[in-house]
Structure 1
């Protein structure tokens, strides 16, 4: 419900919101320009009486003096029967420039307030402001849900660039958008008489002295009123003894006798008048130019969010593939239910649907939100493919599934299999699928297979699960899932360094030339025009459509592409890479891995890796600047065989890019692993993390699990855990 509330108004009102916010941003600059252009008031104790006398001397036919919230003072006068208007220098009362209302400001104001459509346009603009308010509030709640609560609302985000950009801009601008939209709604309500009003200015006096000739300096109320509080002073019509001075200030409004100077009537502004003026100031910036500029800058976030929101919606629509040959739910022997947020899980479901259909199954694929067991008349199994949104929440196409399951009087008799999709970088890995499995077990739903997980859309883990499913179904089931592959480029090997032969574990550091990028790619940062150590290099092996990914050990500034590769038994891609000789090429592309980055501060960094996992850590150390303490803990088999980057590590330690290097070797007499090195150095590890250090781990999953256990023991006395560090963005992994 919350996501629909956020998405639907955004898509419908996107263009309207863009027009309103862009015009509002332009208008927000005008008060600041008025402040800059208005003559400065150099006399802090200047009164309305003194100001009026100076203007009256300079312009004997003065009719009215107005002071704008910006401080600009304008005098309106008649000279030989012809009207005139000038901007006044308050120090002299003389005009410094003719006053001409801005046609541009009037045009832009009409566009912003009513779209040039009078009352109908005002109501349309109000609908845009209401949509912006709904989007801001629902977006805040969605962000809090995504990051795991309000206390973590400003934590570092993970995920695809477009989604992160959408949320980051929202976090920077949401306060201004909430303020602008709320005040706009109040002002519209006031315009249409829906807000209570005070009694207004006093009635025009009917009894006056009939005398004339009092000068402004003789009027006590004008002497007691600071010029900074003036809104408007209207002079009596020349020769009319029944007319009076009319004064409006920040405090109230009233009338003064033009002969005696007596205050004939006065009314202070009431609560609603003061509230209305405050809201007008907050919305327009009139009287607080700096606030107007800030709100204008924040308003520019709305067009950015509208654009990124539409792109995200289009991406989600495109990401959901059309399921060919989708059997009706009542005729299918296999029900596939999909819980997906961005659409990637639907693509896995399409691969599974096709493989099962080719194996002569009748398959129905639908969203988890459409879960209706009574329709599955011929079903022999239910398979749930569920991703997790944020910190354990249901993804978009799974809303309501758990409620429907919990409401069943008894679980379906047909067996269930749950395949969970997630990212181990998140503290709650596959949390929603785990909730589905828990509720299903509580209901007594029989299991077809134990719950399995797919980390970061791994085709290999998906294929392994498919083989397990095939064994359960008593027939082979090969799931060859090919994610959308970006355009690849030819990578030419320029050098290689070989390791591991003595340990019968061949490995190499492979260095490729950076492919040339076109102008558009350089401007947009696509392809190999921009990459960092820790990003992923996708290699497309010969005779396989499925790429393999290797963590980059270099950044674009290094002027080469480098990876660290170990040969795996029967490894198609690793075998092809390690068979390359300088001058030969492979096809590859870059996939951003923005989660695996050092934080942008000067706090210490602890790099932990084993085997070829040192690759991205070496790239991060190479790019480090002396002054930021980086401590490397590295595990390998033997120093004579597997000490990747041995010479560079010594050089980087000598020039300060690495503060320390600690190694552990599993095939020497000491027989130690990297987690043993961490435990042996527990005091320093605890001190560094207490100082705010970030931990980056790269290597095999078993190694990473051992590191988590070691750090859990090291941090326990301080009340910290690796999970807490992950939630704060201070513990990131790149595991395989």
Structure 2
């Protein structure tokens, strides 16, 4: 329901909300421009001084107004001709026209009432209300996506559009809520839906027959600083008994011009004060810096609109690829999918097709949208859940397990869970296990034991489908054919070979990037936008299952680079290491945003062995700001497989690599990378205490040995790999 209230108002009112945001951002520039353009009064200038200077220059003065920016405007009537000008407070002389700055009137009318009068005001108010709804619902969705309010500033994962949407939302939501609320208040005030509480000082007559005092001799004028002035109206010579009216931040007073005494005084009411604050916050008048910040936040709206629309289209694409997808309200069987890279959706489509062929009404959708109330006629739920990293939820499913555990009334229909993962990881199908535990906590009945699919095994899925069919009384024996991903051709431009002498042939392969249009680059399509640590998926000839390799370069480097070790009988590694410059391969990009150096200047400890140095070399190559980076690298022999050895020397000279520590398992001083860490324990502990992030890449056995060594070292400063991981300071990319 929350997603519904966020998605559809955004899609339906996209143009209106964009118009309000863009015009509001443009208007936010004017208050600061006005403050910079006009001379400011001296700090000790009084209203008496300012009024005297203006009255001297313009004897027929009728009114002086001072804007929050410090802009002073005077109106007079001389020789039967009215006049008005912006005034220099230092001299009282004219310095410019009081007419609005170029484009201000047009933008204001367009922003406030769409150039349509009261009808336009109402429409703009509706737009502000929709923006408020989008902002509030968006805040809750961001919290859900990140796994709770306490993880509001955690690193976002997922496709570019999804990450950008989340990052911008976290930046802009506060400002958009403030702008929406203040805009709605101002509209309500215009239509007198909110009492303004304004009261005019009682118009008591001044004593007749007295000559006006010099302005400097009127006590209230002399005591009031010019910086507090809002408006000063002079008595009319045509109205006997007329008085001065002085309006300041503190209230409004009428003053006898002959005696200088205050005749009456009123203070602003509650609603008048609130309205003044609302106007200041919304327009930036009197809070120019805040106005610029709010304007900058408003500029995020067009990008939020584009990324939101992109995500909606992606969701529609998933749905459109599922044939005969029953409506949630009519579904007998509900398939819920939690996928990080999209491959789990392929298995869901196979299951959906098989159940539909058996005559069942089946609905397949994202687990993130799970709400028991959407499926009143469901007889069973099948949850297909992939695991990200070390037992974590896929990006879109963050927080779902917690929501399930908090269900006051679980669904009446039982559930079955099929987990997808990699058996070589300790947390194999860890997120699926988390979902089962959450469902048990809520009292949700299980239909059958949890199933597991290892590395997208079609055989594992077939076995589970038989068990699932038996549990629901429908014969199922499903064969899943992997869907071939969309790939791009990459041409090899160079290769560097290592490791033949130690029976570990390894090659650094560098490919040219395809050509992209500016639109593709802005949209982040294909290999137009990637970072070191992202993955390239390669479909070897004779297989439909992709192999993934970590990228040792970013798009800014202008090439794509990977490290490949040739394994005996390895289908993909054999084909890759047989490539010659000019040969081509087909590949696709899979982002891996969880494996990145954190922003900032804190040190980074890079730990890798063998081809695990690939993404770490990419981080060093990108370290053009010379952030402290310490590399611990393990190999077999310094003569044969010191990958990126020459590059590391150059990176040290340029300041991109702070220190290189190596360990070689087939040298005279035989050691492994975990031994190098223990030997350097004091320095490593100091770096950890100073806030360093640790990044590990390589084989699983190496990573486990490194984790054990770091447990000992981090304990010296009261930390552990687990505590560092919770803070985002310990990340692994292991295989």
Residues 725 and 501 of structure 1: CA distance in aligned 2, closer, same or farther (over 3 Å):
same
Write the distance in 1 (CA, Å) between the matches of 2:50 and 2:620. 68
Write the distance in 2 (CA, Å) between the matches of 1:461 and 1:215. 92
User: Which residue of 2 is the match for residue 107 of structure 1?
Assistant: 106
Q: Does 2:33 match 1:29?
A: no
User: Which residue of 1 is the match for residue 192 of structure 2?
Assistant: 193
Write the distance in 2 (CA, Å) between the matches of 1:446 and 1:242. 89
CA contact (8 A) 2:212 2:258 kept: yes
Deviates more, 1:656-665 or 1:334-343: 334-343
Q: Does 2:543 match 1:548?
A: no
Residues 138 and 712 of structure 1: CA distance in aligned 2, closer, same or farther (over 3 Å):
farther
Residue deviations 1:255-285, cap 9 Å, x none?
2233333322222334443333222222212
Q: Does 2:456 match 1:461?
A: yes
User: Which residue of 2 is the match for residue 40 of structure 1?
Assistant: 40
Residues 383 and 571 of structure 1: CA distance in aligned 2, closer, same or farther (over 3 Å):
farther
TM-score by length of 2: 0.84
CA contact (8 A) 1:496 1:582 kept: no
1:346: Cα distance to partner?
Answer: 6.8
Write the distance in 2 (CA, Å) between the matches of 1:331 and 1:4. 19
CA contact (8 A) 1:599 1:694 kept: yes
User: Which residue of 2 is the match for residue 482 of structure 1?
Assistant: 483
User: Which residue of 1 is the match for residue 439 of structure 2?
Assistant: 439
User: Which residue of 2 is the match for residue 418 of structure 1?
Assistant: 418
User: Which residue of 2 is the match for residue 406 of structure 1?
Assistant: 410
CA contact (8 A) 1:316 1:342 kept: no
Deviates more, 1:624-633 or 1:111-120: 624-633
Residues 2 and 669 of structure 1: CA distance in aligned 2, closer, same or farther (over 3 Å):
farther
1:385: Cα distance to partner?
Answer: 0.9
CA contact (8 A) 2:405 2:442 kept: no
Q: Does 2:123 match 1:124?
A: yes
User: Which residue of 2 is the match for residue 289 of structure 1?
Assistant: 288
Q: Does 2:2 match 1:2?
A: yes
Write the distance in 2 (CA, Å) between the matches of 1:328 and 1:204. 70
Write the distance in 2 (CA, Å) between the matches of 1:651 and 1:83. 75
User: Which residue of 1 is the match for residue 384 of structure 2?
Assistant: 385
Aligned length: 718
Partner of 2:456, secondary structure, is helix
1:429: Cα distance to partner?
Answer: 7.9
1:85: Cα distance to partner?
Answer: 1.0
Write the distance in 2 (CA, Å) between the matches of 1:58 and 1:65. 13
Partner of 1:510, secondary structure, is strand
User: Which residue of 2 is the match for residue 279 of structure 1?
Assistant: 278
Residue deviations 1:332-370, cap 9 Å, x none?
9x9562134889377324443277479989783434647
Write the distance in 2 (CA, Å) between the matches of 1:423 and 1:724. 25
User: Which residue of 1 is the match for residue 389 of structure 2?
Assistant: none
Structure 2 residues not aligned, in runs of 5+: 387-392, 470-474
Residues 729 and 329 of structure 1: CA distance in aligned 2, closer, same or farther (over 3 Å):
closer
Deviates more, 1:508-517 or 1:303-312: 508-517
Residue deviations 1:412-452, cap 9 Å, x none?
5xx83422579999999854762335535996956645443
User: Which residue of 2 is the match for residue 347 of structure 1?
Assistant: 345
CA contact (8 A) 1:596 1:732 kept: yes
Residue deviations 1:629-665, cap 9 Å, x none?
4333344566676554456556766876251323253
1:682: Cα distance to partner?
Answer: 4.2
1:217-256 mapped onto 2 (5 Å cutoff)? 217-256=216-255
Partner of 1:303, secondary structure, is helix
Residues 479 and 714 of structure 1: CA distance in aligned 2, closer, same or farther (over 3 Å):
farther
User: Which residue of 2 is the match for residue 306 of structure 1?
Assistant: 305
CA contact (8 A) 1:340 1:395 kept: no
1:40-119 mapped onto 2 (5 Å cutoff)? 40-41=40-41, 43-101=42-100, 104-119=103-118
CA contact (8 A) 2:62 2:77 kept: yes
Structure 1 residues not aligned, in runs of 5+: 455-459
CA contact (8 A) 2:354 2:476 kept: no
TM-score by length of 1: 0.84
User: Which residue of 1 is the match for residue 390 of structure 2?
Assistant: none
User: Which residue of 2 is the match for residue 510 of structure 1?
Assistant: 509
Write the distance in 2 (CA, Å) between the matches of 1:464 and 1:707. 34
1:168-207 mapped onto 2 (5 Å cutoff)? 168-198=167-197, 200-206=199-205
1:575-594 mapped onto 2 (5 Å cutoff)? 575-594=574-593
Partner of 1:190, secondary structure, is helix
Residue deviations 1:441-488, cap 9 Å, x none?
99695664544367xxxxx435363254367579975433236424x1
Write the distance in 2 (CA, Å) between the matches of 1:376 and 1:220. 81
Write the distance in 1 (CA, Å) between the matches of 2:629 and 2:57. 73
Write the distance in 2 (CA, Å) between the matches of 1:64 and 1:437. 74
1:200: Cα distance to partner?
Answer: 0.8
1:120: Cα distance to partner?
Answer: 3.5
1:311: Cα distance to partner?
Answer: 1.9
Write the distance in 1 (CA, Å) between the matches of 2:610 and 2:459. 24
Residues 358 and 495 of structure 1: CA distance in aligned 2, closer, same or farther (over 3 Å):
farther
Deviates more, 1:306-315 or 1:469-478: 469-478
Write the distance in 2 (CA, Å) between the matches of 1:275 and 1:626. 47
User: Which residue of 2 is the match for residue 159 of structure 1?
Assistant: 158
Deviates more, 1:428-437 or 1:591-600: 428-437
Partner of 2:13, secondary structure, is helix
CA contact (8 A) 1:17 1:132 kept: yes
Residue deviations 1:39-81, cap 9 Å, x none?
332x433232333233223222222222222222222122332
Write the distance in 2 (CA, Å) between the matches of 1:51 and 1:331. 76
CA contact (8 A) 1:351 1:479 kept: no
Partner of 1:385, secondary structure, is strand
Q: Does 2:335 match 1:337?
A: yes
Residue deviations 1:691-735, cap 9 Å, x none?
222222222345434444443444345443334323333222223
Write the distance in 2 (CA, Å) between the matches of 1:374 and 1:189. 41
Partner of 1:231, secondary structure, is strand
CA contact (8 A) 2:256 2:263 kept: yes
Write the distance in 2 (CA, Å) between the matches of 1:46 and 1:424. 77
1:147: Cα distance to partner?
Answer: 2.9
Residues 374 and 209 of structure 1: CA distance in aligned 2, closer, same or farther (over 3 Å):
closer
Residues 405 and 77 of structure 1: CA distance in aligned 2, closer, same or farther (over 3 Å):
closer
User: Which residue of 1 is the match for residue 695 of structure 2?
Assistant: 696
CA contact (8 A) 1:493 1:583 kept: yes
Residue deviations 1:505-543, cap 9 Å, x none?
554333334455556656766555554432323334335
Write the distance in 1 (CA, Å) between the matches of 2:349 and 2:500. 38
Deviates more, 1:11-20 or 1:422-431: 422-431
